[in-house]
Structure formats: structure tokens, C-alpha cells
Amino acid sequence: MALASVVARALGWLAGLLAAGWIARLLVRRLGRWAGDRGLPGPPSGRLLAVLGGVIVLANLPLVAYSLRPVASTAVEIAGVFRDDFNRPELGDAYWSSGDYWRIFDGQLLSPGAHNNPLWLRAVLPPDVQVDFDARSEAPEGDTKCEIFGNGYDHASGYILIFGGWGNTFTTIARLDEHGVPVNAELPEPIPNGGHVRVQRTDLHVEQGHTYHWTVIRKGGTLSWKLDGQLVLQLIDPEPLRGPGHDRFAFSTWDADVFYDNLVITPL
């Protein structure tokens, strides 16, 4: 499935480049005729155009590589209830991050201020799911967060749940952008701002050193978040993020030392 997706995207890029080359040649010919009719200098030579085209292609190689990136790999299957108490020396192959020193310390998962480099669980989430875990911030800034239904690579590729963000002033469920526009819990159709929105509240603050039990539940288009059994926020999404590219879970932080523990993922 992943290989077929990569091949399809590669063919799409090749077709796009061929079409762009054909259009460029046509425009050069038309421009040459127009300039010749008016006694003006002609367009750049074919060699110069080839050089310019090569420069454009090289400049876009990172974008091409990004678009051809395969679906995130899988190391764990969630057939029943998945549990992780982190009582081991090393994280192992079940997790992946693009940066920062995520590690196990004293039987807990430690994020030493990951600066939005999430630690992704290499497992495909079921569409309807409950995720439980414990979280404790050792910083007055709070800043505990997780990401759910992301792509397994990138920050803000799904829903971002933040407790005590922005200096322990905001708590939010964000959709595709933690800086998205504030909206009500029940999203309208179409979703404004290209789907980059958030629901938020400002009356909750992380207590430094306190362990909170998080419960995140997604049923259909409704995403609910509880702390210590109390509903914090809810997002009702008419276009729920799901399927390949929106099926992974991650822990995250910005600039605080946060401990996570007792992860439980239950299909619903």
C-alpha cells in the first residue's frame, strides 16, 4: 500500500515536470515570435533555459522528497488493548522521534523539552479509540501535550492537545495547527481557516509536580478529553481526521521537562 502510494506520487511529479517543460517550450517559442515581429531581442537561449530549469528542479528537491515520503512505518499492532508502563532501560523500536533526547528515566518516559519533536508510537490507531496515560510537568510553565491522529512524522499533522501551553495560560484541542483560529466545540461546515482551528479555555493551569491522568476518546467525529475523570474540552469535527496520514499517536512538549507513564490504548 505504501509502495503504491509512493509510485503514484512519483508518477504525478514526473507528469507535472513534463507538462511544465512542454508549456515552457511553447511560451519560449511564442515569446520569440512576438519579439522577432517587433525587432526586439529574442528569449534566452535553450542552454540558458536548461540551466535555469535545472536550478528550479534542484531548489524543489526537498519538496519532492517530502511528497514522496512513505507512510510512517509500523512496529506494534493494536489488535486488543495496548499497554506500556515504561519499566525498562530503553524505549526500543516501538517509538520514533525526529529529534530531542526522549528517554526512559526511573520507569517513566521523560521529555526534556522536546520543542515540538513528538515521540510517535509506531502503531496504527483504530478510528474509534480511547487513550489513557499519566503526565507530570516539573516546570511552572506546565506545557504537557500529546498529538493524536497525526501522520507519524510531523508536529501538528493531526489533533494537538495541550494542557498549560503558552506559559501555562491556555488549554486547547487544536486541529492541524496549535495556533489556529479559536472556534466553538461543534465545528461548522465548511471548517474555517482551511481546517486549522482550535477550541480552548484559559481557566485551567498545570500544577507543577502533580500527576494528571489523561483520557482521550474519539468516537465518530467527536474527540473528548478528560483530566482526572473531568471533561476538559471536546471537539466535534464534521470532517474527522482519519486513515493513512491521520492514524498515529505521540507524546510531545515544548520547553518543559515532562514525565509520561502508564500508556493504555483501547479500541472502541
Taking the CB of residue 222, how many other CB atoms lie within 10 A of it?
15
The whole-chain average pLDDT of the chain stands at 85
When comparing pLDDT for 131 and 69, which is higher? Answer: 131
Highest mean pLDDT among 27-36, 93-102, 134-143: 134-143
User: In terms of DSSP H, where are the helices of the chain?
Assistant: 2-37, 46-59, 61-67, 165-168
In CATH terms, the fold of domain 82-267 is Jelly Rolls (2.60.120)
Are 26 and 93 spatial neighbours (Cβ–Cβ below 8 Å)?
no
Average pLDDT over residues 62-90: 76
Is the predicted pLDDT of residue 29 greater than 80, yes or no? no
**Angle (nearest 5°) at CA 65 between 197 and 78:** 60
pLDDT band at 36 (very low <50, low <70, confident <90, very high): low
Which of 246, 238, 35 has its CA nearest to residue 127?
246
pTM of the model: 0.78
**C-alpha distances in angstroms, 141 versus 109, 138, 208?**
19, 9, 8
Are 145 and 168 spatial neighbours (Cβ–Cβ below 8 Å)?
no
In this structure, what C-alpha cell is assigned to residue 65?
Answer: 522528497
pLDDT band at 4 (very low <50, low <70, confident <90, very high): very low
What pLDDT sits at residue 129?
98
What pLDDT sits at residue 5?
45
